[in-house]
Amino acid sequence: MSGQVRRKRHSPAVYRRRRLVALVAVLVIAAGIVWVVVAQPWRGEADAAPRQGPAESSSTTLGTPGPTDTPVPTDSSSADPADPAASDATDTAAEPPPEDAAAAKPCVAADVVVEAVTDQDTYRSGQNPQLSIRLTNQGAKDCTINVGTTSQTFTISSGSDVWWRSTDCQAEPVDMVVTLAAGQSVSSAAPLTWDRTRSNVSTCDSADRPRAPGGGASYHLSVEIGGVASAVSKQILLY
């Protein structure tokens, strides 16, 4: 029929553009759906905040402290570096609270073991011995003991000849009563140095005190703390 309008046929490029636009629209819609599912914008801020996981539990258990857990430190800051007395105990063997002090009784010699300790057995020329105390409560109950500088003594002797005593030039000694737990062992946090000289209360400030002979000479360290002396001395050799 001559009056019928014929539709214009589009080129293939037009159809390709239409299909591309439709595909992009589908992808945009799909991306929007995924975002809504993942982001969940309707959730409150409380849910958005990250949840903290449970705190890790500690497997550490409290046991009997070792020799170095509760030191009975020595004082090397007195006027005479060679003759300072041991300082007060700290850390675990600390000053007991009033209730603990009332519960624990004073330590008795039968329940306490005191040992003389040195950092070496032999010392070459120029090496100074480092001296310490080890204290152990071998009793079944906690007890209190004075570990202040007033109650500590280090003595170096050769035979019956006392060469050096820590209290000869001790400065401002003090008391400190601590509670020593049953089975607890403590030792010096910082050793006391013997400068290999002979001590005397009249020569504390002297720079030319007699020096202990070496050449393999034998000396013995004895210690006392809280009124309890070491059962045996510790032998050292000086060269």
Would strands 105-106 and 143-146 be described as parallel, antiparallel, or unpaired? Answer: parallel
Q: What is the pLDDT of residues 96-113, one digit of tens each?
A: 555 555 689 999 999 999
Determine the pLDDT at residue 30.
72
pLDDT tens across 20-58, in order? 667 767 677 777 776 666 666 656 544 544 444 433 333
Give percent of the chain above pLDDT 90.
52
Segment 191-198 mean pLDDT = 96
Domains belonging to the chain, first-starting first, are 98-201+211-238 (2.60.40.2360)
pLDDT of residue 85: 45
HSE-up of 68 (CA within 13 Å, CB side)? 4
Mean pLDDT score, 168-183: 93
139 close to 107: Cβ distance less than 8 angstroms: yes
pLDDT at 114 over 60: yes
Residues 6+ apart with CB under 8 A from 96: 104, 144, 177, 178, 179
Q: Band of the pLDDT at 4, cuts 50, 70, 90?
A: low
Looking at residue 14, what is its pLDDT? 61
Q: Tell me what the mean pLDDT of segment 220-239 comes to.
A: 97
Q: What does the mean pLDDT of the chain come to?
A: 76
pLDDT at 76: 35
* Confidence category of residue 188, pLDDT binned at 50, 70, 90: confident
Q: What is the pLDDT of residue 10?
A: 60
**Confidence grade of residue 211 (pLDDT, cut at 50, 70, 90):** very high
Where is average pLDDT lowest: 22-26, 63-67, 211-215?
A: 63-67
For the stretch 133-144, pLDDT in tens is 999 999 999 999
Phi, psi of 31 (to 5 degrees): -65, -40
Check: CB of residue 117 under 8 Å from CB of residue 125: no
Task: Answer yes or no: are the C-beta atoms of 67 and 187 closer than 8 Å.
Answer: yes
Looking at the whole model, is its pTM more than 0.85? no
| Per-position DSSP letters for the chain, written without gaps between them | -TTPPPPPPPPHHHHHHHHHHHHHHHHHHHHHHHHHHHH-TTS-HHHHSPPPPPPPPP--------TTTS-------SSSTTSPPP----TTS-PPPHHHHHHSEEP-GGGEEEEEEES-SEE-TTPPPEEEEEEEE-SSS-EEEE-SGGGEEEEEEETTEEEEEGGGG--S----EEEE-TT-EEE-SSPEEP-SB---TT-TT-S-PPBPP-SSEEEEEEEEETTEE-SS-EEEEE-
For the stretch 36-41, contacts whose Cβ atoms lie closer than 8 Å and that sit 24 or more positions apart, written own/partner, are none
Q: How confident is the model at residue 158 (pLDDT cuts 50, 70, 90)?
A: very high
